[in-house]
């Protein structure tokens, strides 16, 4: 293909064209040949990957959790109330992904003010932490040893996020929105194959901690598919939080239990595990704050795309990649060239992420410059239609953009656990929430707080254990009360100041590429949102190889891309996105995964036809 072919097309589709593509759910998929099945054809029982109607919408990975959010909307709650209710329910049914032992990032669109606002509920390191947190005898710990230890546990931020969101924008008290989750914890939920598989994968380390084994290994074994798993301890914890407020965690008895668990990990008799104690203190809990931050913002195809600013790298990296792609008409590209440019834009954006993004309380993060079109253009000129950039690619300098320049040493992408969870909510007033929450690895640190019903995070392993290059500053080294860099990317897209869509995904560092690919699949390739979510994924994170899901790895596209110079490796599953979309006729469309992680659950308050 001639180098100018992709750059000559119309940059900004008309709103009419965009609205037509939003409604065209029955169109043939032009991008990757993957159309989401109708619910009756492919979704697990009780789950639907798409729902359309009025009164509000909820999309999450779990039917019980989505139903909890819908219950709150039906009872007059707004999107913030429903988001907290859904998140609390996920703490019951997806306890290996989320819960009050973890943290997350909350992005909110206020329909009255037409503003997007965010909360950084990321976990923080203890005040005693320094750059040697994960060094032992001068050498970095093995990653698995660091994960399953008190050293990995950051101050949880989820409860503070809920409290801050409800206080600023909610209409219901915490006690009320926790009720559906409390009921699910008391009555139990049905174990599905995904939950059993995750338990089996973690059974050995869960068995080393009596409190964890009591919760998730009934009779010493993973629960069977179809059985009911109850968590009365978590029901009591939610009830106490509702009655006493989050001060119980940050100033009270619940917090003391958390500190005791981190500082004195309780191992089963005969266990040979070295569950290194952490140095979390009551003062660390007391001083924690969920922070209101300005969102990131870029313009793409005439739309405003809002995301999460640092300490997350999601907003800056998705935003930079979109800016790089802004000059390329992806709507007219072949499948091969579309994927090539998406992969290369991801490669470049991750190169810059690794050098520049960290906790802004400790690092001078050039957020505005990273998101400038001038910087993106200086990086986009590196990308060729007929060749592949060498990885790892060195970063550019957003403070002094120079065309096609790259300098310094490339920073490899830090590994992040992939079992986060995302939920997306809208209400009848037009408010929207995109909220991603996590405890990092599947099962977090593996340590449950005895008698409290939840696992503690291992978020501090998102820090770099050592610098990639001792001669180059690493913005993601541990520090006192510092927040580790995240890839979480909850995103809200506005069209003329009103919500067009919102989405997000779990998946560690693949979150960024999942959100980016879903956005361009929908906005550029014309895929209905549920099909953009379902489409097979590629993930390039400034590495020598790009990860492909099986449908791409086994397709002729792979060999055509390899002929350009790409290298690939197989990843069975990348991400698990959810989203909501406002349709031109005023209905909400909720969309979730048809297959990944057992399929997601999209619901609306008042169903009204197919999209």
CA–CA separation, 273 and 209 (whole Å): 10
Per-residue confidence (pLDDT) for residue 42, from 0 to 100: 39
420 is catalytic: yes
The rounded mean pLDDT for the chain is: 91
Per-residue confidence (pLDDT) for residue 404, from 0 to 100: 85
Over residues 12-33, the pLDDT tens digits come to 333 333 333 333 333 333 333 3
Over residues 213-272, the pLDDT tens digits come to 999 999 999 999 999 999 999 999 999 999 999 999 999 999 999 999 999 999 999 999
Over residues 445-469, the pLDDT tens digits come to 999 999 999 999 999 999 999 987 7
- 147 pLDDT above the threshold of 70: yes
CA–CA separation, 220 and 225 (whole Å): 15
Evaluate whether 337 touches 362 at the Cβ level (below 8 Å): no
Kindly list the domain boundaries of the chain, sorted by start residue: 5-293+418-607
Domain range 5-293+418-607, CATH class: alpha beta
Residue range 187-209: mean pLDDT, rounded: 96
Q: Dihedral angle at the C-alpha atoms of 93, 96, 102, 108, nearest 10 degrees? A: -50
Evaluate whether 219 touches 169 at the Cβ level (below 8 Å): no
CA–CA separation, 152 and 125 (whole Å): 9
pLDDT cut 70: percent of the chain above it: 90
Residues ≥6 apart with Cβ < 8 Å to 371: 296, 297, 298, 316, 319, 320, 323
Is the preceding peptide bond at 392 cis, omega within 30 degrees of 0? yes
Per-residue confidence (pLDDT) for residue 238, from 0 to 100: 98
Per-residue confidence (pLDDT) for residue 2, from 0 to 100: 32
Helix (H, G, I), strand (E, B) or coil at 136: strand
CA–CA separation, 78 and 498 (whole Å): 17
Over residues 487-520, the pLDDT tens digits come to 999 999 999 999 999 999 999 899 999 999 999 9
Residue range 358-371: mean pLDDT, rounded: 97
The catalytically annotated residue of 161, 237, 420, 510 is: 420
CA–CA separation, 593 and 36 (whole Å): 8
């Amino acid at each position: 293909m001639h180098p100018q072919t992709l750059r000559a097309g119309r940059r900004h589709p008309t709103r009419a064209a965009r609205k037509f593509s939003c409604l065209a759910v029955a169109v043939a998929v032009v991008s990757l040949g993957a159309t989401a099945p109708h619910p009756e054809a492919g979704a697990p029982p009780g789950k639907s990957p798409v729902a359309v109607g009025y009164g509000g919408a909820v999309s999450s990975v779990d039917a019980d959790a989505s139903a909890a959010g819908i219950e709150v909307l039906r009872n007059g709650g707004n999107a913030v109330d429903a988001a907290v209710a859904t998140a609390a329910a996920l703490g019951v049914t997806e306890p290996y992904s989320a819960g009050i032992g973890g943290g997350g990032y909350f992005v909110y669109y206020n329909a009255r003010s037409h503003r997007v606002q965010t909360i950084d509920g990321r976990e923080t390191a203890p005040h005693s932490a320094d750059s040697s947190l994960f060094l032992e005898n001068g050498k970095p710990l093995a990653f698995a040893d660091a994960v399953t230890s008190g050293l990995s546990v950051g101050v949880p931020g989820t409860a503070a996020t809920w409290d801050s969101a409800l206080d600023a924008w909610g209409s219901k008290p915490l006690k009320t929105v926790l009720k559906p989750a409390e009921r699910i914890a008391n009555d139990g939920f049905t174990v599905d194959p995904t939950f059993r598989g995750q338990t089996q994968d973690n059974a050995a380390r869960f068995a080393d901690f009596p409190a964890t084994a009591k919760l998730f290994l009934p009779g010493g074994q993973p629960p069977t598919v179809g059985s009911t798993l109850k968590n009365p301890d978590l029901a009591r914890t939610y009830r106490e939080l509702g009655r006493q407020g989050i001060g119980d965690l940050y100033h009270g008895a619940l917090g003391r239990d958390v500190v005791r668990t981190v500082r004195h990990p309780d191992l089963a008799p005969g266990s040979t595990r070295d569950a290194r104690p952490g140095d979390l203190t009551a003062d660390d809990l007391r001083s924690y704050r969920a922070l209101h931050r300005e969102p990131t913002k870029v313009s793409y195809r005439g739309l405003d795309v809002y995301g999460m600013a640092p300490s997350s790298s999601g907003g800056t990296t998705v935003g930079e990649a979109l800016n790089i792609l802004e000059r390329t008409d992806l709507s007219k590209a072949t499948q091969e060239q579309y994927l090539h440019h998406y992969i290369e834009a991801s490669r470049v954006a991750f190169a810059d992420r690794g050098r520049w993004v960290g906790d802004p309380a400790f690092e001078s993060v050039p957020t505005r410059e990273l998101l400038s079109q001038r910087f993106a253009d200086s990086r986009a000129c590196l990308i060729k239609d007929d060749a592949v950039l060498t990885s790892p690619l060195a970063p550019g300098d957003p403070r002094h953009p120079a065309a096609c320049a790259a300098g310094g040493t490339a920073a490899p992408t830090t590994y992040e656990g992939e079992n986060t969870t995302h939920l997306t909510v809208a209400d009848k007033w037009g408010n929207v929430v995109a909220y991603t929450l996590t405890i990092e690895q599947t099962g977090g640190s593996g340590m449950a707080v005895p008698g409290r019903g939840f696992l503690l995070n291992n978020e501090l392993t998102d820090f770099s254990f050592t610098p990639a290059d001792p001669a180059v500053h690493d913005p993601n080294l541990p520090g006192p009360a510092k927040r580790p860099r995240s890839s979480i990317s909850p995103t809200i897209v506005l069209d003329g100041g009103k919500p067009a869509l919102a989405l997000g995904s779990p998946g560690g560092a693949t979150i960024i590429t999942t959100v980016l690919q879903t956005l361009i699949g929908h906005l550029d390739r014309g895929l209905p949102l549920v099909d953009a979510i379902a489409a097979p994924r590629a993930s390039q994170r400034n590495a020598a190889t790009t990860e492909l899901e099986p449908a791409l790895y086994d397709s002729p596209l792979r060999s055509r891309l390899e002929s350009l110079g790409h290298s690939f490796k197989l990843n069975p599953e990348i991400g698990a996105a959810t989203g909501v979309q406002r349709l031109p006729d005023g209905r909400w469309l909720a969309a979730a995964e048809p297959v990944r992680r057992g399929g997601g659950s999209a619901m609306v308050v008042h169903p009204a036809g197919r999209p």
